[in-house]
Chain A
Amino acid sequence: MSEKNIVQFEVDGKEVQAPKGENLLKVLIDQKFKVPYYCYHPGLSVAGACRMCFVEQEGVPRPMISCNMQVQEGMKIKTESENLKNIRKWNLAFHLINHPLDCPICDQAGECGLQDFYMEHGQYNSQMQEQKVLKRKVVSIGDHVMLDSERCILCSRCVRFFDEVPKTSEMAIFNRGDRSEIGTFLDRPLKNNYTLNSVNICPVGALTSKDFRFKKRVWFLKKLNSICPGCSTGCNIEVHEDPREKQVFRMLPRYNENVNGHWMCDYGAMRYEKINPKNRILTPKLKQGHELVPTDWDNAQKYFDDAMEKVGKDLYVLITPQYTVEEFEHIYATFTQKGIQNIFHTVDEKNIKDTKVIDELLMRNDKNPNSKGLLKVSAAHGLEKQNLAAFQKELETQKIKTLVVFSPADPDSDPEFMNSLKGIEAVETKIQLGTAAQYETLDFDCILPTLSFVEKAGTFINFNDVEQKIEAGAKLVEDAKAISEILC
């Protein structure tokens, strides 16, 4: 950015630089000044509804709301003063006049704007003598969202969100004065793929997630930065898990200007269910007669190694694009070193060329997080031509003796996966490495549990060739092993 477009001004005596025309409140938030606010959201238009973000400017007689100001060269801003303190305190009192103070049963507690700013700027005793206005509680609006209109502070973030982001305009504020109530028209369910974002941006507990409801208090959760495994867009996310309970509880979007902005889709946000132990392969299993019997790693590893030994170069490998680049590299390197060339991938070239979004905003046709990564690694080994169609042809010829399948971590990404393996019964030894309990079928002789995307570090490459890192959290399945440990 050229010098001309940068303005310099002063906040609380500190020099601050920002691009010309930038929203003042955004700059203040980014620079970690403590200005309370509810209605402003960097991804939405300005409403000026909550009146919390007042600051003072030198030379201007009255305080002004900073979310509605632009930065100007040489302006002198004050974010702390006796007057501002008073404004914030009594403004908050207004917000709380009819607020039910449900904190003990409210899922927002712990990350609630009202709680945070009350502790910072409020701390008064209520002077209201009137009865609180009661509104509706526990109203279901849509598959993912629960509304409690009593808790709403009418900041209109959700209204603007549905107006501006998925552009479905499903929510509105009805009535006037202290009867104002947030809701959907006639309580119609929200029907789009982005409803959970409204839960995330609601500064209070008026909109809560039906799925996360009452499962966990937020202060027990550990956060790790990751990438959504739901599709090839590769939205940046925060995974919230409880390492002691070995459960992931939710996934929230993380800001990345170039990929997903502030948002992620509902389909993606629900992907966490697939990696919790109840949907996972928990132990290595070997087929005995007509049953898959749990066994220990020594046995399973021995079975695996013996099978590798026996078949030598005639091994067939099938890889799905649901693993990290590092894992692909390890898999290709280990097998090609042994002279094995029959490594096939299931990347659907037609699908990845089609990069149009298929819903309101972000989701893409290719439901794999790392198709580009798999293509890249297979190309590096000159094996990019060996795709699913080629593999199916080989299956039909019935010459495959031993097959190793790296199955999809998320069965929803490829519901037809098992069908695409038609003819697998004829293969003598079929080994699966994977995570999804759904694929614990008798089609395989040996099943080995591997790590899911929250348990390992690595790289996903999205549809647009952006390489993004995922972070490793706690191990959720005790017996799962990294691919690099199994193949060596």
Chain B
Amino acid sequence: MLIPRPPAYRKWLYLRGFYWGFYTTLKHFTLNLLHLRKIPTIQYPEKRRERSPRFKGKHILTKKLDGSIRCTSCYLCQTACPADCIKITASEHEDPTVEKFPISFQIDLLRCVMCGYCEEACPVDAIRMGQEYEWADFSESNYIMDIDHLASRPSLKGGVISKLPT
């Protein structure tokens, strides 16, 4: 097959785009360097941005007024979770009005995609997405959060109480 070549001068047309880009970069560089305008960058971690209350950060298991875990282990969050990172083990509660409660509740933070479906699925406001997002660590196993971490880690200062009627 015969492929017609473009005329030779076309080859040089890219230079126009090249100089234009170069100019833009230089412009922003000088403006920002000399602080000639307000830029959105902040000096993290000395300064931290304020997040909206519906930010989806590290999960929290809420508590009842008496301080026990709210979760009834209905498995709806585990069912809804697209990343398959929640693992619950239910057990019989000695109080027949409670009946069922989780003896173990794990979330694998490495698998979690922070979609918030679990929070959405929960019928009793037992799981919420919190505000924390800094969780760098050295070992993969540290990313599996157990029930104590989810409900009463130090940063929660005793835990979050949900006031919805049970």
Residues of B81-104 at the interface with A, using a CB-CB cut-off of 8 Å, are 90-92, 96-97, 99-100
Residues of A contacting B96 in the complex (Cβ-Cβ under 8 angstroms): 137-138
Are B90 and A104 touching (Cβ within 8 A)? no
- Closest residue of chain A to B74 (Cβ to Cβ) is A104
State which residues 76-116 of A face B: CB under 8 Å.
Answer: 102-105, 109
Taking CB atoms, residues of chain A closer than 8 Å to B76 are 104
Q: Are A138 and B99 in contact (CB under 8 A)?
A: yes
CA distance A104 to B166 in the complex (A): 12
Known A-B contacts A137-B97, A213-B92; A104 and B124 likewise in contact (beta carbons under 8 Å): yes
Contact flag A105-B97 (CB < 8 Å), given A213-B92, A214-B92: no
Q: Which residue of B lies closest to A134 (CB)?
A: B97
- Assess whether B162 is interfacial by the CB under 8 Å rule: no
Q: Give B95-129 as 1s and 0s: 1 = Cβ < 8 Å from A's Cβ atoms.
A: 01101100000000000000000000001100000
- Inter-chain CA distance A401–B96, complex, in Å, is 61
| Residue A217 CB within 8 A of the other chain | yes
B143 beta carbon closer than 8 Å to chain A: no
- Please judge, given known A-B contacts A104-B74, A104-B124, whether A214 and B97 are in contact too, CB under 8 Å: no
Q: Among A102, A109, A214, find the residue whose CB has the most chain B CB atoms closer than 10 A.
A: A214
Given contacts A137-B99, A214-B100, A219-B79, contact A105 B74 (CB under 8 A): yes
Residues of B within 8 A of A103 (CB): 74, 123
Name the residue among B79, B97, B99, B124 with the largest chain A CB count within 10 angstroms. Answer: B99
Which chain B residues border A104 with CB–CB below 8 Å?
72, 74, 76, 123-124
CB of B62 within 8 A of chain A? no
Secondary structure dominating the interface of A: loop
Closest-CB distance, A341 to chain B (whole angstroms): 53
With a cutoff of 8 Å between Cβ atoms, the chain A residues found around residue B79 in the complex are 217, 219-220
Distance from A174 Cβ to chain B, minimum over Cβ atoms (Å): 20
Given contacts A138-B96, A214-B91, contact A105 B72 (CB under 8 A): yes
B residues within 8 A CB of A220? Answer: 75, 79
Q: Tell me, rounded to whole Å, the shortest Cβ–Cβ distance linking A149 to chain B.
A: 12
Beyond A213-B92, A214-B90, A214-B92, whether A105 also contacts B100 by CB under 8 A is yes
- What residues on A are CB-neighbors of B92 within 8 Å? 213-214
| Least CB distance, A138 to chain B, in whole angstroms | 4
Q: Which of A198-254 contact B (CB under 8 A)?
A: 213-215, 217, 219-220
A213 to B100, CA, bound (A): 10
Q: A104-B123, A104-B124 are in contact. Are A217 and B75 (CB under 8 A)?
A: yes
CA of A219 to CA of B78, assembled, Å: 11
Q: Which residues of B contact A102 (CB under 8 A)?
A: 99
In the bound complex, how far is the Cα of B133 from the Cα of A333, in angstroms?
Answer: 65
Taking each of A102, A103, A104, A213, which has the highest tally of chain B beta carbons within 10 Å of its own beta carbon? A104
Q: Among residues 127 to 155 in chain B, which have CB atoms less than 8 Å away from a CB atom of chain A? A: none
* Distance between A219 CB and nearest chain B CB, rounded to angstroms: 7
How far apart sit A79 and B149, CA to CA, in the bound complex (Å)?
54
In whole Å, how far is A461's beta carbon from the nearest beta carbon of chain B?
40
Enumerate chain A residues within 8 angstroms of B99, measured Cβ to Cβ.
102, 105, 137-138
Bound-state CA distance A105–B97 (Å) is 11
Q: Which residues of B contact A (CB under 8 A)?
A: 72-76, 79, 90-92, 96-97, 99-100, 123-124
What are 22 A-B pairs with beta-carbon distances under 8 A?
A102-B99, A103-B74, A103-B123, A104-B72, A104-B74, A104-B76, A104-B123, A105-B72, A105-B73, A105-B74, A105-B100, A109-B74, A137-B99, A138-B96, A138-B99, A213-B92, A214-B90, A214-B92, A217-B75, A217-B79, A220-B75, A220-B79
State the 4 A-B residue pairs at the shortest beta-carbon distance, nearest first: A104-B74, A105-B100, A138-B96, A214-B90
Knowing that A138-B96, A213-B92, A215-B90 touch, tell me 20 more A-B residue pairs with CB under 8 angstroms. A102-B99, A103-B74, A104-B72, A104-B74, A104-B76, A104-B123, A105-B72, A105-B73, A105-B74, A105-B99, A137-B96, A137-B97, A138-B99, A214-B73, A214-B92, A214-B100, A217-B74, A217-B75, A217-B79, A220-B75
